[in-house]
Every structure is written in structure tokens, then in C-alpha cells.
Chain A
């Protein structure tokens, strides 16, 4: 696979390390959320057959975490964003 890195351009996916669903960025607040909220966040997944927003880390590269939108049925990648930009937007929307 090739991931079109927003800064570095197309890179072989072999340079990256995969983590999982980008929903992992929506971490509950420790001081307010309890075990149940953390459980739902950490342990359950939509696991869609189709478009999936997911986290990849450019370990053999610039160390960016990316949010990659990829179709799990075809492996087609339709969007690649810097995870930090996504996370900042997420914070502002909270």
C-alpha cells in the first residue's frame, strides 16, 4: 500500500506502524469518566467493512501520526490527515 503523507508525499505503507481506529483519539477525561466509559472507548470497535478512519505512525519517517481514511474492503485510501490537526480540531469542537 501507499500512503500519501500530507507533508512528505507518497510513501510505502511499510514505513508506517498501524495502531487502529482513529476513535482512539476520543479519549475520555480521566477525572470525569469512569471505568465503563474507558472500557467502551478502549475495547469496542465499529470495525466497519468499508470506510475506516485509522491511525498510522510514520516510524521510518518523520514520526507523524496520520489519520488515514481507507476502505477495508478494497484498501483504497481516500484521505490522509495529520493526526495532530485532527486532534486539535477535535479539542476545539469539544
Chain B
């Protein structure tokens, strides 16, 4: 198809022709075109369908405020729904499709909704679909849900990458129109670090869309020269294609840069978009203004667009919206469209100016005191009906209508911190109110200064104020002369009198009738209006419709517009891709991976790994021929208890605690006493939260008079360290104690089993005989001829066991050496599963029991809480509700018939009791298979469990319908006297 509506001029590169397609049809365009400008240049006006009534729609605007011309861009996994054709840069091969229509854009079966519009008023769904009760979910809602939404996701993984970055500047300027450019020139020339961000791909804002002069240049040329000068300044960073999403606290702004969206796909190594966090000392909002329509009957047809957009398409993109146009305005700015279009050779049939009296445009039929009352044309405008000042109706054949209801300053970002905009009666618009984000000032049209000269002036003035506040005040440069027309506007929100629908929010199909109904039903507050009618809740967030809706409501209530109020704008300024917000944290990179020192060795051996927090730990290590995990785990358990097994326990938290008050400090943070622990010994410690619940447990060793080493559970390594620093700095600042986390500094292995000592003796340089290094001994040692190490004779498995620690960089060497020397003992490495089996066999609590809801008493460790000293949690652990004799107690559980299964999370019930809450006895916390007992065994919290040892009950899992008779036993299944670990 030819570019039938392409006209001369504009900032497109006609030397290059690009091909793109829309709904499968191929078109030509030029670099510099947007999808919307290119389609208009090709004579295509119909680009979308509205949300509710499926009304045919063309572009209303030429910018990011677009409610109508939404398309699905690209294909396959890169399909991007709801993309505004008005901001998409055309590239060669671009493919776009219309959305929310079936079967085609021109014939949309869902447009039946438009015929039935009298039923689909605001809030109609709240009043119906209630009978019969079951029909809402079975019948009505599925139909509504099928009709919901606009574009479609691809349902495939987004193939593109996204990045995140951090920027710092003295001054962030948002918007590169006349005010922003002038502010940037002023600050940039003064040498401060400036970031100038603009959502458009070409900086200049309205300067690119207007025909005025700035100084002795065209507006667009002046903008280009300003951009060129700024680009030459090393202290200025220009960020086109960058939308500032909103202000966070303390001068931080988020912004998204569309790095590759103008390309068929990102260049290799480049992201699609980058999310920037911009730290600014000061910021200037120079975001311009957005034009708003006037509500009149059938004001939504393709071919009806905002006056400023129509002349932007003509002036910037060389695309005319129609051959015979009319202009409908309530203000002087709309007249510019008539003048510009006429100068481009377009037939301007009439200017319908709602204002009475005043000057008339020369050479154009300029009707004063007239309004447009209706329009015609199903898939595109064919004509309008107007009413002249004398009341006479007239029909005009036109294929495009420019509408201007005035301009709204883009105050959005000033109200993101909930500052309310202020109504300006002269502009008939909201301007920034008091109390916006701290450090932010506003210039140009965003501040309600609507002329080019005013924009240049306020841009410079705000930049000078920033420079002064930064101590860099400079002399202002002379400003070029520019257009300085006053705003002349008379209120006209809604052309009353008709019976049809007049649109306010075009995307969501909110019409004047809906506002009238909301008023009739007493949904009159602005928030009720918004929520009841869905005004302003579409993808454009009401940028063109909100003020209009408020004004119509004000007219109904008799209140002023400021009394009626405004809704608070929310970030982001325009919708932002989820991918950009997530950046690189997705897929396997969602969270960092922490590897243990033995990871490489274990991987070589074919270990199966499991996620434990951010760690990957060996879960079990299969041997050739083993086909199920149970075979591997049983073997690891049996081999450990028979001879020796090794487990990487580096993930346990390790905290060095030193100072003359280290013992006293530990007495505070542990429920039991550590100041009395002899040097060279370890002790099991129980740590409570201040509310008396168990926070963590672990073994702490005293390596010197003022030197302790604490171990924590893997899960609590970080929170416990934080807690200790809190206790040290905030509660007991007088204590002489210092802490450092050494979790990453030491590789630590448990060496457990009857031959543990024999194995270690091959490595350790010192005497570790039972006499020299008895049960619960701890100390500094060396291994392999002098490598410094730590040795603890502690046991989680219940076997004769040690934990040996070497500096992390020797961790890999140590596991290899242990396995090499261990060959003589058939040593095995055991993983977290076998570790779990052995600790349950011994009745030791771990993660499932340390659930933050359990007391020491619950765990059978009540006696460990010393009442003789001040410790965290001691007082509140004595509250009634936590000391009841029939509270939960840790018990052991085994099925009466070992062939029967039990599972963790099952609840205890008495034999014969119904599975109801009143009979709930507690639950099984951890279940393992014990190859020694040839049975599943479990730990559990059972009400008054200590009084029920020997009883038979049931472990019931209603989810899997497994109901198993069990015996309540001591949690110490194996070697209850602890003879093995003293061996």
C-alpha cells in the first residue's frame, strides 16, 4: 500500500524505507516513524477495539497517554501485548497485530456488547448474576473471564535479558522539552552532573511537534542544537527512550531505559531494557502537559484525535490524519492545529470553537459559540454534526476531527508521594500542589507554564535555583525569543443535550452516562467514581480522561472541581515490563548459589544435591547399582554407624566471640550457662528469643579464656549473628566482647563413627586419644603437618564423632585426604538425608522442630533454661500458656506394624477418635526410615507427650488418607545412654 497520507516535512528519514506489517498486511515507513504515524501515513485509522464495548478505535494521542491504539507487538515468545502504537518506533520487519477482537479488527463479534450497551452500565455486574447462587462461578463468571483482558501473553519464557543499573547525579531532569533542555543547558554548562531523561526516542518534546520559532531557528532545530551541545558536555548524560517511573524516598528515582525495543531484537550481549535506580541530589520535573478531549456523542471514532496529536503527526511525522478535517476546541491552542493543517494543504472544513465572541481565524471557517454534537462513521469518521451559536444544526463531511479540551500539566510524579494537585482556575487544570517529593521542583508546562518562552524561562530559573542550592550559582544565559501566547480557555467538559454516549475514559468505555449513574447512586466521591465506573483504571491510568470525569461529576453535584477533588496518581508513570523490574534474578539466577567446600569433589562423585536456603548440599551420594534414594541413604547410615562417615557441615553458622566478657555475654544469649565452661571444652547451647521461644541451638566451644566459637543452625546463621550484634551493641554495650562471623572462613566436616578417631589420627598432628581429647573437647590443632585447624569432639549422629575445621581454601583438599585415608575404613560421605536419619534416631531437634513456635519445655529441654542468671527469653518463657503440664512435648514415634507408613505432618489421634480438631493431639514433625530399626521412626510434638510414652495412638494423614497405629516412645531411639559417643 502506498503512503497515501504522507505529506511533506517532518523529522523522518525519507531516504530509507522500512517495511512493517499490521494484521498481516505490509506497509512502508521511514526511520523516525512510530507505528501509529506510519499507519496514519498509510491511511489506516482503525487500530484497536475498546475494552468493554469493542468499539472501533484509532489513535487519540501521539504519545504515552494513548488509550486506544494498543497492539500486540512482535510474535512468538517476544509477543508484547497492550503496546501503544503511538510510542513504538518502526523498524524493518516489525510485526504488529490488533487485539481484543474476534475474528478480525474490522469485524469483531464482541461488538455486540456495543449494541447491548444500555445493559452494561457502570456497576451493572454488582446488581445481577446472583441467581441462582451457583451460577456465578459456573456460568456467568467464566463468560466474563473469557471476555476479559486486552492483549495476550505468549505463555512462553521471555527470551530477552534485562539489566539493572545505578546512577548518581547532582540534578536529574525529567523530560527534554523546552523546559528540560533549558534546565539541562543551564546546569550542564555550570559543570554539575546532570542526567536528562525523556521517554521519547527524539528529545525536544513539543518543540518537535510545533511550527514556532525559537530564536532564529525552528523549534525542532533549536532542540536538536541544544541536544548536540548537551551531548558534547562530559558531565551530562542524555537518556532518551528512558521513562522515569517515579520518585522513591530521598531523591532516588526509578527509570526504565528501552535499550533495544527499537530493534528487531537486542544486539548480542545487550539487554532489552535496563532498570535504573538514579540517586539525585535534586530533580526537576519538566514533563510537559497532556491534552484532554471534550465529551460529546460518539467522540471515540477512528479519525477523532486530540488537536495537539493531529498537528504532531503532521509536523513531526509528515502524516495527515485526514483529507478533510474539522477542529473542535475550547481554547486557543486548538486553533494552532487548524492553522498548521491548513498550511500543510489539508482541507480544514471548519473550526468549531465553543467560546463565544473573539477574533476569527483568517481564511478558515471559524465558528464561535459552536459545539460538535455527534459524529458518524462505523469504522472511521465520515462526518460530524455541530450546533452553531444560533442553535442551528449542521452536518459536515470530514474524515478527521481534532479535539482540544485544554491541557493538563503532567503533575503525576509530583503526586506520587501523595501530595494533592492544586486546581488553577485560569488554566482549568490541576497544577502541582504543595508537599511534593522533597528535592523536586517543576518547570514548564508541568508547572502550568504553558508557553514555550515560559518553559525556557522556568527551566532556566529552576536550574539556577538548583545550582544555588548546590553552591554553584552561575549567571543566567540570555534566553532565545520564543512563542509566549497566554492560555485562553473557557470551560467546556461535556456537550450536553444528546441521548447517546459521550466517552470520558475511552479504553474502559466510561461515558458521561456512567458518571451520571454513579452520581444518582451516591458514588460521588472521586474514589467512588473511579472504583464504581472504572474511570482512570485502564492502561493509560486516566491521563486523558480523569479530569474530564471529575469535571462532569462536579457539574452534577454542584461542587467545584477542587471540592470534588482528584485521585492520587500512582507510580509507575507508564506501565513497565515485569522483566525489567526483575532484571537478572530469574531462572537459575533467581538467588545466588552457595557451594560447600566439598561441592566439587561431591559433584565428581555424582552426588545428588539439595537446596538448603541458598546453599546446595549433598543430599546423598549414590553408588553404582543403587537405584533408589533409600538404598543410598540406608547404606550411608549403616556405614557410618559401622565404621566412619563424613559429612560437610560447613553450612552451619560459625561465630567467633572474643573479649574479657565473652563468657558473660554467652550467659546472656544462651538459656544455659557458658561462663563456667572450661577452656578446651564444648557445650550444647539453647538460645531463646526474648518471647521465650527457642530461637536456635548449637554447640559452642571455649578455645581460650576469652575466646569462644559458637555454631548455629544453617538456617539461622545470619539471624543469630544479627541478634548477637543487637544484644552486644544495644542491650549490653558495656561488655568487652567482639564478634565475627566465620561461616565462610572455615570448611568444616563431621567425621562420625566408631573409626572416626582412627581416621582423624592419620591427619591430625596432635594426640587425640580419648584421654587427651575426651568427649566434648575442643581446641586448636594442626593437620597434615602444620595446617592450622580446629577440632571439636561433638556428635549429632550419636556416634564417636568430631567436627574438624580447616581454612576454607583447604576444604577441597581435606575431603579428598579424608576419603583417601578413609579408604582403609570403608569411609563414606553421607548427605543431609542420612544426617537426618541419624539425628532422629538420636532424638535431636532440627529445623522441623525448631519452628519458632516451640519452647525448651516442648522440646524436652526445659531444665536447660537457667533461672539463676539474666538471659534473653528467660522471664517470658515462664508465662502460663507456655508452661502448661499438658502442653506439647517432644516424643518418639514408631508404627506398631513396621510395614505401615507414616509421614511428617500427620496428626496424633487416640485410637477410635474422630479426626476433628477437638481430638487433635499434635503432629509428627520429622519422619525417617531407620535401617537399624528396620522401621520408619519419627519425632513429634504430642500434647502431654511425656506422660504418654508407651501408649498406642494413631498417626493420621487426612490428605493422603493414611491412618497408622503408632507407639509413643522416647525420642532416643538408639543408644539412649550415649555410650557410642563416648567411645
Residues of A within 8 A of B (CB): 1-2, 12, 17, 19, 24-25, 27-31, 33-35, 38-39, 42, 55, 57, 59, 63-65, 74-77, 82-84, 87-88, 91
Contact = CB atoms under 8 A, between A and B. Distances in A.
A25 B730 contact: yes
B726 interface: yes
B726 A35 contact: no
Nearest to B728: A84
Given A30-B874, A65-B726, A65-B729, A91 B734 contact: yes
B766 interface: no
B157 interface: no
A31 B621 CA distance: 51
B729 A87 contact: yes
Given A1-B248, A35-B879, A76-B438, A57 B733 contact: no
Interface string B137-155: 0000000000000000000
Contacts of A74: 417, 438
Given A19-B726, A24-B730, 9 more contacts: A2-B250, A2-B252, A17-B722, A28-B875, A35-B879, A38-B875, A57-B726, A65-B730, A87-B729
Contacts of B875: 28, 30, 33-35, 38
Range, interface on chain B: 20 to 34
A51 B691 CA distance: 27
B156 interface: no
Nearest to B435: A74
B251 interface: yes
Contact of A83 (B690, B718, B729, B871): B729
Nearest to A17: B722
B726 A63 contact: no
Interface string B734-772: 100000000000000000000000000000000000000
A75 B247 CA distance: 13
B876 A55 contact: no
A42 B730 contact: no
B249 A42 contact: no
Contacts of B725: 57, 63, 65
Nearest to B438: A76
Contact of B876 (A1, A35, A57): A35
Contacts of A42: 690-691, 876
Contacts of A88: 733-734
21 contacts: A2-B252, A12-B252, A25-B730, A25-B731, A27-B731, A30-B869, A30-B871, A34-B875, A35-B876, A35-B879, A38-B875, A42-B691, A57-B722, A57-B726, A65-B730, A76-B438, A84-B729, A87-B729, A87-B730, A87-B731, A91-B733
A38 B729 contact: no
Nearest to A92: B734
A56 to B, nearest CB: 11
A77 B251 CA distance: 12
A54 to B, nearest CB: 12
Contacts of B417: 74
A65 B531 CA distance: 44
B870 A31 contact: yes
B605 interface: no
Nearest to B727: A27
B851 interface: no
Contact of B730 (A2, A17, A83): A83
B17 interface: no
Contacts of B691: 42
A57 B724 CA distance: 12
Contacts of A77: 250
B585 interface: no
B889 to A, nearest CB: 23
A87 B733 contact: yes
A40 B547 CA distance: 50
Interface in B706-730: 718, 722, 725-726, 729-730
Contacts of A63: 725
Contacts of A84: 729-730, 733
Interface in B400-458: 417, 438
A55 B869 CA distance: 26
B730 A75 contact: no
Q: What 4 pairs between A and B have smallest CB-CB spacing?
A: A30-B870, A87-B733, A2-B250, A84-B729
Interface in B362-416: none
Nearest to B250: A2
A44 to B, nearest CB: 13
B560 interface: no
Interface string B209-250: 000000000000000000000000000000000000000111
Nearest to B689: A42
A29 B690 CA distance: 13
B117 interface: no
B878 interface: yes
B976 to A, nearest CB: 34
B870 A59 contact: no
Contacts of A75: 249-250
A30 B729 CA distance: 18
Nearest to A85: B733
A76 B279 CA distance: 16
Contacts of A55: 726, 730
A19 B723 CA distance: 10
A57 to B, nearest CB: 6
Contacts of A2: 249-252, 279
A13 to B, nearest CB: 8
B737 to A, nearest CB: 12
Contacts of A1: 248-250, 252
A77 B249 CA distance: 10
A79 to B, nearest CB: 14
B772 to A, nearest CB: 37
Nearest to B731: A27
Contacts of A82: 729
Contacts of A57: 722, 725-726
A20 to B, nearest CB: 11
Contacts of A31: 870
Contacts of B874: 30
Contact of A35 (B690, B722, B878): B878
B722 A59 contact: yes
Interface in B856-896: 869-871, 874-876, 878-879
A25 to B, nearest CB: 5
User: Looking at B722, B731, B733, B874, which has the most chain A CB atoms within 10 Å of its CB?
Assistant: B733
A78 to B, nearest CB: 12
B470 to A, nearest CB: 16
Nearest to B437: A74
Interface in B684-708: 690-691
A39 B438 CA distance: 39
Contacts of A25: 730-731
A57 B875 CA distance: 26
Nearest to A22: B730
A42 B731 CA distance: 13
Nearest to A33: B875
A90 to B, nearest CB: 8
A49 B869 CA distance: 38
Contacts of B734: 88, 91
A65 B725 CA distance: 8
A17 to B, nearest CB: 6
Nearest to A82: B729
Contacts of B250: 1-2, 75, 77
Contacts of A34: 875
A34 to B, nearest CB: 7
A32 to B, nearest CB: 10
A94 to B, nearest CB: 11
Contacts of A33: 875
Nearest to B734: A91
A39 B691 CA distance: 9
A28 B872 CA distance: 11
Contacts of B729: 64-65, 82-84, 87
A28 B733 CA distance: 15
A84 B874 CA distance: 23
